[in-house]
Amino acid sequence: MSQTKPISEAHEKVLSLIDKEGHQLCYLYGRWQDEREYEDFAEYRKAAQEVIPHPITKMTKRPFAIYFSTHEADYRLKILPRGIDIQWVHSARFQKGQLRSHTPEKRAK
C-alpha cells in the first residue's frame, strides 16, 4: 500500500504563491503567445521575477517555463493554457517529483 508523503512547508509556500500570483504568470504566457514576434523575452523574465520571490535560474520560451531554487528544492513552473504544471527536484536527496498540475485562482475584478 502506498502512502502519500506530506507536502513540505517549502512546497506549501510555492503552492500558496501560485494560488495568489499564478494569474500573473498565466497572463505573461498568454501575452507571449500573442507578442513573441515583437517583444524581448528578457522583459518577460523581469516581469516573472517580480512575481517569484526566489532568484529565477532559467526561463524558456518553449515550453514557457520558469525555473527557480529555494533552500529545499529546485522548481520548474511550466505555464500551459490549462494552468501551471509544478515540478520539483529535491536539492539534498536528488528526488524528483511533481506536486500537481495547478490552476491559479481567478481574481475577481
CB atoms within 10 A of CB 73: 22
Domains of the chain, by residue range, sit at 9-102
Q: Which long-range contacts (CB under 8 A, 24 or more apart) does 96-101 make?
A: 99/7, 99/11, 99/14, 99/15
pLDDT of 95 > 60? The answer is no
pTM for the model stands at 0.77
Beta bridge partners of 101: 85
* Per-residue pLDDT tens digits for 35-45: 999 999 999 99
* Per-residue pLDDT tens digits for 50-88: 999 999 999 999 999 999 998 888 999 999 998 899 888
